Every structure is written in structure tokens, then in C-alpha cells.
Amino acid sequence: MFNKQAVTALASLALAKEAVAFNAHRHSHEERDIVHAHTHVEIVTEWVTVTAGPGQPAPSPDYAAPQNPLTTTPTYVVVQTPAAVEPPAPVVPPTTLQTAVVATPVTSPKEEGAQDTPKKETSSGSTGTSGGKRGFAYNDASLVKNFFTNGNECTNCPWAYNWDSSDNGLSQPGVEYVPQLWGPIDVHLQRWEQNVASSIKAGSTHILSFNECDMPSQCNLDASSAADAHIKHVNPFSKQVKIGSPAVTNSNIPGQGLDWLKAWVDACDAKGCVYDFCVVHWYSPLEAADTLFTHIKQASEICGGKPVWLTEFAPLSHDDSAVSSWIQTNIPKLDALKELERYSFFMVAEGNGKLISSGGLSGAGKAYASA
């Protein structure tokens, strides 16, 4: 792992070269980060991936995927050109890493049952129980209430998700919970059908497919296998809800990011996936905000003009004041972007650059609520 001096040196070098596509993906519970660096300078960067998830024995794979131990390990990559969670356990907030080992799938919901409830119609920019695109990415459901108490009123925040298929206690009136199948592995599949059915009964009108199959540390599936798994486990709900594609990063490594999304869309065109919108993530420096909007527009083009959900994004900064200013500047632009249907900042949690501080909203959280 780089020491502070090395990180400072690399950062200075990157800024000197005007690196505008530095990408990092951070899932944090105790200030643990995923860092993915992309700059104009040819450097070797270090990935340290820690994702929240329950520990469990490795199941027998149904699709090709690694069976690494659930530990934090660095991966080294050489980056040449600019570019760009595992959910909590069912009840107890998770603290361990979940690598993607794909299990033998369970039985999917029957199409006949899915036809009983017609798909709920929504429109871009006005989904959920009230108007607005803004939502919450959370692990601890109790923290979401901070956006609606103590003088805060996030009037344009009608939805939330937590990388899981159970809301784990989310009870904020007017906020739609959106279930996600993090990956087609036993720990998620064994709860997926029942949890989605319960969420639909409670008012959910959307579901999300897998989390970052383009990343070895996350769902980690090739596009064709992900299309097969999506058809088996997600398609059956297509008569009841709107469906999102697997989420991808803004990595520019060949085969990742939008490259992976295009391969998945091509596979789905041939195989018959059902999806109503495409899902992306974005992490880059404060000064690279323009790449966020380009990323969203390119994703929409790849998906044939379908709307886009931005379910994780943040500028790379631990300065609450700088992040607050970035939010105030760029959230109105996201609200105005026609290709974008919903977005959620990373994340509703304690920590530098995040939306919660000392049990209440941080400066960034207040900016996110009011922008």
C-alpha cells in the first residue's frame, strides 16, 4: 500500500499532468476505501477493495468466477489513458468483504405470477412516490431519517437502495425502496424472490440487477454470463416493475466500465434480457466533473437511448467543504440532464466526504438535501 508521501507525490504528478479521469471506487464502513487511479501519466496504482457483505462458505459456481478468500487484497494495474457494494447482511450491518462466486441459481419467479400485476409506469425525473431524481445509497437505514428531520427536508428525494434485496428497516414515508440482486450467488439468491415480492407489495416499482460485474472485487461476471443470470433471476419480474441493468464503473481499463456495458447490451440483444434503464457509477477528482455527464450520455447511447440511473457517485475528496461546493454546483446539472432518471450520492454514512457526520447531516449532506 502506498504511504502518505507516495500518495502525495502521485497526486501532485497527476495534477501536474491535468489528470481528469482519475477513478476511485470506495465502499466504506470504517473508513476503508477502494481506490482505482486513472491518470494521463503511466503509473502503477493499487486497488484495495473492501466491500460490506456477509461471510459464507464458497458455493459451487454456476458461472465462471474466482473463488478467492474473503479478504482484503491489492490488485496492481497499469493505467495509460483517462477514465473512470456489496449490500449489508439481512439484519446485522455487514463488515466483511464479499467476493463474487456465482452459486447454483434457485428457482426463478414464475412468469405467470409476474403477469398478475401490471408494470407500474413512471417517467424520467418524476419516479417514486414524489417528484425528483435524488435518492439515498445506504447501509444503515436509520441514518436516512436525517434528511427529513431537524429542519432538513429533502423534497426531491423519493427513493433509496442499499445494494441488497431487503430494506433492512427503511421506514421513511414517501421514499421508495429499490431492491438489488448484488450478484447471482447463494447468499443473495436464497432471499431474492421473497424479498422482491415483499418490496413490490410495499410499493416498490423498480429493481436493480447486479453490482459492478466489470470489477473483479465485485459481482465479477463476464457480460454473456451476466446476461444469462439476469434473464433467469431478474426477467421474471418484468411484468411488475421497471428493471435496471447491472451497474458498471467509469473505469477505462479495456473490458471494464462502458466496454462491459456494451458487451452486456449486445449479449442481451441476442439472448432476450429485459431492462428499462441502464445503471452506472462514477468516481473522479473534483475538477473532472465534466466526465460525469459524458459518462452518463455515453451509457444512454450504448443502451439505445434508455434512461440512466447513477447509483453511486462522488468526487475524490475528503474535504467536506470542497465536496459540499461540488454538490451545490453539479446536482442542479444532474437534475437538468435529460438522459438521467435517478441518482444517489455515495453515501449515507459517517466519514470524510460522505453525507453524515456525528449522527446528523454533514456539510455535504446538507448540500445534497437542499441543492
- If you search the block for the grid coordinates 449486445, which residue do you land on? 266
Instruction: Domain of residue 288: give its range.
Output: 111-370
Per-residue confidence (pLDDT) for residue 171, from 0 to 100: 94
Residue 156 resides in a domain = yes
Per-residue confidence (pLDDT) for residue 75, from 0 to 100: 32
Cβ contacts of 321 within 8 Å, gap of 6 or more: 363
- CATH number for 120: 3.20.20.80
Inter-residue contact 346 to 327 (CB < 8 Å): no
For 273-331, give the DSSP string: ---SEEEEEEEE-GGGHHHHHHHHHHHHHHTTT--EEEEEEEES---HHHHHHHHHHHH
Under-70 pLDDT residues of the chain: 1-130
> What cell was used for 62?
454456476
Residue 36 resides in a domain = no
Per-residue confidence (pLDDT) for residue 12, from 0 to 100: 38
Per-residue confidence (pLDDT) for residue 118, from 0 to 100: 52
Per-residue confidence (pLDDT) for residue 291, from 0 to 100: 99
Per-residue confidence (pLDDT) for residue 35, from 0 to 100: 38
How many structural domains are present in the chain? 1
Per-residue confidence (pLDDT) for residue 4, from 0 to 100: 37
Residue 48 resides in a domain = no
Inter-residue contact 205 to 176 (CB < 8 Å): yes
Cβ contacts of 70 within 8 Å, gap of 6 or more: 53, 55, 96, 97, 98, 99
pTM for this model (two decimals):
0.72
Residue 313 resides in a domain = yes
Per-residue confidence (pLDDT) for residue 18, from 0 to 100: 36
Per-residue confidence (pLDDT) for residue 5, from 0 to 100: 39
Per-residue confidence (pLDDT) for residue 131, from 0 to 100: 76
Inter-residue contact 99 to 66 (CB < 8 Å): yes
Q: Could you tell me the sign of the dihedral formed by the alpha carbons of 136, 331, 306, 131, in that order?
A: positive
Residue 358: left (phi > 0), alpha (psi -120 to 50), or beta? left
Per-residue confidence (pLDDT) for residue 153, from 0 to 100: 87
With CA atoms as reference, report the closest residue to 85 among 219, 232, 250, 222. 219
What is the gyration radius of the CA atoms in the chain, in angstroms? 19
Per-residue confidence (pLDDT) for residue 207, from 0 to 100: 99
Per-residue confidence (pLDDT) for residue 119, from 0 to 100: 60
